[in-house]
């Protein structure tokens, strides 16, 4: 991801303490040395990974750049976190078209990573849409997953979720939050459209901060620094694979124990959307975090770590 010109309000910056939300400021692992790094080859792509921490292995799906910034150094004292890019955050070989990628493709990619890294029976963690990918991997490879950690993930498809999120925003968001959103987008729509496709996704996410963060003015630019967004595969992921998603759409049940973490002020994936969906998971620990948006592992890191480690410690 490259810098935008000086007229753009969200510049790519370093990681000063002042940018850290809530109680996570003292727990940022910005200087955490990796145990190892590399890439796993899959059909049509190469998936980079970074491994940090010590303890039981936990495979963190999504991005090997974004997600190491989002989890505390304290958690690394208890878990060996293997952060891996999935196809939508990695360049693709022209030999494979987005339309060829299915949920089976994603599950097989994760299995290839687990096998090559020698992780054995592993905890699998996914935030946002990556939580759904984690669930679908566990549905297909239950013998290789000990626990699932699902954070801020939609229980329904993206089409329906868009409707539910908009209704929740209109009914629940404060006037100040809505004013910040309006200010963020003033004069920006055409400028965002003019960006390369890989940057449009990221800058839209940043500008939509009031929907994602408890602090509506929070600037998430630092989290996205150097992240590559594969726009055609992202479009396919959200617009096709998960458009009409249902937790019970597949007759194979998800039997792995699930730790579900949601933020009270998440306007992208409202916590209320899980009210009628929790019954579809056989073994679910439901965790709602107050004063928190879409990313509890960063916004309320101390409380998130405490609850998660307590759950992992149960037999």
Q: Which two tokens stand for residue 302?
A: 């101390």
Yes or no: say if 117 and 96 are a contact pair by the CB < 8 Å rule.
Answer: no
- Among 120, 109, 138, 24, residue whose Cα is nearest residue 80: 120
| Residue 36 annotated among the catalytic residues of the structure | no
Domain 17-312 class, CATH top level:
alpha beta
Cβ neighbour number for residue 64 with a 10 Å cutoff: 24
Q: Active-site residue among 88, 266, 285, 305?
A: 266
What pLDDT was estimated at residue 159? 97
CA distance 96 to 88: 13
Whether residue 19 is predicted with pLDDT greater than 90 in this model: the reply is: no
| Residue 63 annotated among the catalytic residues of the structure | no
Please tell me the pTM assigned to this model.
0.91
Q: Active-site residue among 24, 27, 294, 305?
A: 294
238 pLDDT band, cuts 50/70/90, is: very high
Q: Which two tokens stand for residue 96?
A: 């494979």
What pLDDT was estimated at residue 32? 58
The percent of residues in the chain predicted with pLDDT above 70, rounded, is 89
Whether residue 4 is predicted with pLDDT greater than 50 in this model: the reply is: no
Between 9-18, 35-44, 193-202, the lowest mean confidence (pLDDT) is in 9-18
Which pairing describes strands 284-289 and 45-53: parallel, antiparallel, or unpaired? unpaired
**Angle subtended at Cα 171 by Cα 166 and Cα 177, rounded to the nearest 5 degrees:** 80
| Residue 215 annotated among the catalytic residues of the structure | no
What pLDDT was estimated at residue 314? 83
104 CB burial (10 A radius; 0-12, 13-18, 19+): exposed
Whether residue 196 is predicted with pLDDT greater than 50 in this model: the reply is: yes
Q: Active-site residue among 24, 63, 72, 128?
A: 128
The residue-averaged pLDDT of 228-247 equals 97
CA distance 44 to 89: 13
Rounded to the nearest 10 degrees, the angle between the axes of helix 103-116 and helix 129-140 is 80
What pLDDT was estimated at residue 14? 34
Yes or no: say if 109 and 223 are a contact pair by the CB < 8 Å rule.
Answer: no
94 pLDDT band, cuts 50/70/90, is: confident
Whether residue 93 is predicted with pLDDT greater than 80 in this model: the reply is: yes
The residue-averaged pLDDT of 268-288 equals 97
The percent of residues in the chain predicted with pLDDT above 90, rounded, is 87
Whether residue 81 is predicted with pLDDT greater than 60 in this model: the reply is: yes
Whether residue 151 is predicted with pLDDT greater than 80 in this model: the reply is: yes
Whether residue 113 is predicted with pLDDT greater than 70 in this model: the reply is: yes
Whether residue 13 is predicted with pLDDT greater than 80 in this model: the reply is: no
What pLDDT was estimated at residue 262? 98
Strands lying side by side in the sheet with 45-53: 36-42, 45-53, 79-85, 56-62, 122-127, 145-151, 258-263, 284-289
What pLDDT was estimated at residue 85? 98
Domain ranges of the chain: 17-312
């Amino acid at each position: 991801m490259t810098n935008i010109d000086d007229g753009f309000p969200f510049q790519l910056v370093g990681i000063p303490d002042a940018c850290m939300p809530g109680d996570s400021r003292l727990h940022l692992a910005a200087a955490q040395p990796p145990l190892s790094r590399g890439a796993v080859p899959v059909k049509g792509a190469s998936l980079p990974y970074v491994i940090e921490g010590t303890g039981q292995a936990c495979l963190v799906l999504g991005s090997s750049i974004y997600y190491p910034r989002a989890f505390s150094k304290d958690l690394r004292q208890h878990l060996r976190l293997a952060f891996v890019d999935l196809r939508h955050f990695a360049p693709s070989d022209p030999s494979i078209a987005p339309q060829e990628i299915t949920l089976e493709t994603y599950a097989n990619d994760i299995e290839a990573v687990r096998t090559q890294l020698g992780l054995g029976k592993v905890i699998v963690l996914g935030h946002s849409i990556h939580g759904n990918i984690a669930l679908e991997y566990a549905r297909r490879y239950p013998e290789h997953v000990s626990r699932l950690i699902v954070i801020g993930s939609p229980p329904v498809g993206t089409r329906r979720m868009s409707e539910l999120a908009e209704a929740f925003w209109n009914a629940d968001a404060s006037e100040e939050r809505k004013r910040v959103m309006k200010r963020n987008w003033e004069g920006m729509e055409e400028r965002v459209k003019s960006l390369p496709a890989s940057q449009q996704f990221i800058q839209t996410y940043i500008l939509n901060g009031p929907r994602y963060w408890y602090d509506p003015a929070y600037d998430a630019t630092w989290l996205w620094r150097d992240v590559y967004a594969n726009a055609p595969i992202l479009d396919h992921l959200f617009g096709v694979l998960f458009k009409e998603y249902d937790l019970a759409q597949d007759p194979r049940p998800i039997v792995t124990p699930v730790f579900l973490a949601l933020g009270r002020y998440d306007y992208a994936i409202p916590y209320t959307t899980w009210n009628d969906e929790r019954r579809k998971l056989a073994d679910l620990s439901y965790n709602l975090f107050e004063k928190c948006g879409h990313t509890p592992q960063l916004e309320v890191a101390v409380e998130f770590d405490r609850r998660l480690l307590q759950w992992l410690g149960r037999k």
